Amino acid sequence: MPRIAIVDYGVGNLRSVERALARAGAEAVITPDPRVVAGSDGVVLPGVGAFAPAAALLLGSGLGDAVREAAGRGRPVLGVCLGFQLLFESSEEGEGGTGLGLLAGRVRRIAAAPPLKVPHMGWNSLRLRRPAVLTQGVEDGTRCYFVHSYAADADPADVVATVDYGGEIVAICERGVVTGTQFHPEKSGPAGLRIYANLVAASVGERRPAEPSLP
């Protein structure tokens, strides 16, 4: 049973993630300890709220460096919602902020026009763009649950799935062992549980070196 660290930096819906990972076959550990995060078999970085204060908490606590270390050791890392956005280089939300730089790109406000509303809230259908470890067993058109006002302007090579919300929004990225979902897998029914199960399986598989983090 792999040990998956759920990063506790004061932001996020941790218990629902813990329950979903347990159902997927992991020993899920909610932890604020960078050493536990760095030494785990896999990492989930959750998050809700605004980018800049969350980034400050993550980086100021040493947990951001621990997530980078885990990825550098070939441990799968999954960012969820705001946690996904924090994997990128920066955001324009509020006063902005610096992310972990494990994924290339910047987070920008959704540019949906009326009658669509921001935040993008509710169920939406995935458009799978390429195969990925995280989406094995997930079908094109699968509906997942979103709550967000900002979205990643990602490197096209990293994009695994998108959704349509008055334009294309990145829903899933994968770059080496670093992955992320803009939606909440723990709120997305069987498809979300499959995504967590894929993370658990990757955590006990052959270790893959992470692709170099961005400068």
Residues marked as catalytic: 81, 184, 186
Question: Which residue from 186, 167, 180, 175 is spatially nearest to 214, judged by alpha carbons?
Answer: 175
In contact, 107 and 150? CB cutoff 8 Å? yes
Q: Is the peptide bond before 115 cis (omega within 30 degrees of 0)?
A: yes
Number of residues written out for the chain: 215
30: left (phi over 0), alpha (psi -120 to 50) or beta: beta
Report d(CA 136, CA 107) in Å as an integer.
26
Amino acid at 10: G
Report d(CA 76, CA 28) in Å as an integer.
14
Angle at 30 between CA 202 and CA 186, to 5 degrees: 60
Show the DSSP H helices in 26-164 as ranges. 34-38, 51-60, 63-72, 82-85
